[in-house]
Structure 1
């Protein structure tokens, strides 16, 4: 199968699930049938002459669903009713994709389950691919997805949903980054781009812009197994096309004059992307955008990042003063403290804080980077 056909199939999956549900399948069975059809399609080429990939997937998935029904003798009556339903034929144009986003991020699901189900039912990944991305056995992921679908029993596909929860799940999905053969961040961008087409909500556009702008820096973030901080990244490695698209999407969202937290975060990322060098960064504007973010909710993480920005805009002592109230319980507090101490020329304090930050780091890449920073300052004192 060509890459174009595979991509078209995966884009069609959410709509095809909706079509099967409207024909009488429950969500869990419809999703299973579409996954079966997808696996079959990936194992063998789409027959020559097929122009409507979506229609072909509907046909294969509907047959897979009927096979599931027929295999259960306790559902004989239901099989007879479904067998009398019209065959696949022309595919209706009603699109239940947005409802599928709502269903996969329903409040009855934990964030972890919502992410897994979104990857399967919306993104069209196989259970094995999802398991590989989350570094768990395939059987474990299959059970997680199965339990999630069981919790959705009785919840209809066309019920109103919470867009803010959908965006939160997609943002969490994006932050999973890259693991195994699947770039989860790229999948998050793809399904968020699809969501942006389905709604005129500017915050969805803001979320898409934020993802694009952050993902554009991915090629420069880790080099030779080493974490490279933003200020030291080779900006020539940044994805210019992704930055251009992200800025354009953000500008269009901001013209709606319905500012939200994702748009504000994207604006900060755009200011970083706009600077040719770290020294040219407009830190004053970045502080102002952090103030806008705080208006949507007082977050210690936002206050920490704002303190670092103040340290760049108004000097390290001002940054230290802004950072002090945040508290050391906040992740990366000691790393920010170390950076500001170093900027102030207080190398002993900075080295000690880098070492403490390394001790508290949750990833080996970050820990090794912080240890190198501490050792660099210790070496400079000798």
Structure 2
């Protein structure tokens, strides 16, 4: 719905206001009159009509009125409104926000806000920055789109590669929020990844990301037991979706056949190995080492240290972790806690887990960390 309104109005703020107004009207009317046959069409039509009315009331925007369809034309258009249109418009919105005229971080943050529906605080957490810093980035990105008149459309095929890195990052971060427990976002990211792979069938990284998400998503039912987080070693494998794992591996094979050696392909290889009956942790650690070289990311370096510990060397893993500058990152402290616990340094482990608990935002994470602290 928001994607449709942004494309129609060319303005993020007006689109968000119109969407909120339409939902407020629906919340009041539908309990009395019943849900319409096409609720999506009703909401978009109402939002567009409200936006038109508002623009007409704003005298400074009077010159724009002639550019907008009349409400009757909108109603005619919405007779053809269906879910297929929404899917296409969502992908258009991703590519719009990922316009190369915007800085990469602004592209990703704006799309997460507009398409993923993530709150500013959630986006800030994904980028490891303060909420205030992220607010400024979002404001600058919106202002630049408005000032430069960036078109709301999927660019020509020859321009798609210029935006691919940002689009992949957006979909990956939306999936990460789903992996933390918001399953709806995980499924939406996979749907977008599938659309992207279809749009760019010869791009190995698009297939690599899709494979990565599919394989991880196949384990979603085993990752939580009620409100408790369950680690990989303790998961009930009978709850894994083996068919989806096989489908994800087939997508990974396609990425490798295309010569894929990029970051998402490597991550998909790691995810695939972690679903084997016996996990080859030294090989996983080697793949993470390759991923560190590709990305230079301290978070990837943290994951490499975890793999080194799983391969049997928690002391070396702790040394590697202590060299990282990730003091505000939840999983930095929880990983330190686990390594210290394995090395029988209980007091230090309690301190690390306690700091992680202070940073945790989801109930499963908080319950898991509290149990770890109690066990010490």
**Which bin holds the TM-score, normalised by the shorter protein?**
0.5 to 0.7
Moved more, 172-181 or 353-362: 172-181
Alignment gaps of 5+ in structure 1: 1-9, 121-129, 136-143
1:372 corresponds to which residue? 371
2:97 corresponds to which residue? 104
1:79 maps to 2:65: yes
Structure-1 separation of matches of 2:310 and 2:119: 41
Q: Is the 8 A contact 2:56 2:65 kept in 1?
A: yes
1:287 corresponds to which residue? 285
Q: Is the 8 A contact 2:223 2:229 kept in 1?
A: yes
2:36 corresponds to which residue? 45
Report how far residue 310 of structure 1 moved.
2.9
Report how far residue 272 of structure 1 moved.
1.1
* Cα displacement string for residues 202-259 of structure 1 (whole angstroms, at most 9, x for unaligned residues): 2122222222222332222232432222111112222334323322222212211032
Structure-1 separation of matches of 2:12 and 2:334: 45
Q: How does 1:1-382 map onto structure 2 within 5 Å?
A: 14=3, 18=7, 20=8, 25-28=9-12, 31=15, 35=19, 44-46=35-37, 66-67=52-53, 69-80=55-66, 82=68, 98-106=91-99, 107=102, 109=106, 112-119=109-116, 149-154=142-147, 155-157=149-151, 158=153, 162-177=163-178, 183-200=184-201, 201-275=203-277, 280-313=278-311, 315-316=312-313, 319-327=314-322, 329-330=325-326, 331=329, 332-333=331-332, 335-337=334-336, 339-340=338-339, 346-347=343-344, 349=345, 351-361=346-356, 362-363=359-360, 365-366=364-365, 368-373=367-372, 375-376=374-375
SS class of match (1:119): coil
Q: 1:182 to 1:215 in 2, by over 3 A?
A: closer
Q: 1:271 to 1:101 in 2, by over 3 A?
A: same
Q: Is the 8 A contact 2:223 2:232 kept in 1?
A: yes
Higher CA-based Rg: 1
Report how far residue 32 of structure 1 moved.
5.8
Report how far residue 104 of structure 1 moved.
2.4
Q: 1:327 to 1:72 in 2, by over 3 A?
A: same
Structure-2 separation of matches of 1:34 and 1:247: 42
Structure-1 separation of matches of 2:305 and 2:97: 37
Q: Which structure has greater helix proportion?
A: 2
Q: 1:35 to 1:256 in 2, by over 3 A?
A: farther
Aligned length: 331
Across the aligned residues of Structure 1 and Structure 2, the Cα RMSD in angstroms comes to: 4.6
TM-score, normalization by structure 2: 0.67
Moved more, 98-107 or 64-73: 64-73
SS class of match (1:369): helix
TM-score, normalization by structure 1: 0.66
Moved more, 182-191 or 196-205: 182-191
Q: Is the 8 A contact 1:105 1:118 kept in 2?
A: no
2:129 corresponds to which residue? none
Report how far residue 15 of structure 1 moved.
7.0
Q: 1:179 to 1:263 in 2, by over 3 A?
A: closer
1:7 corresponds to which residue? none
Structure-2 separation of matches of 1:46 and 1:33: 24
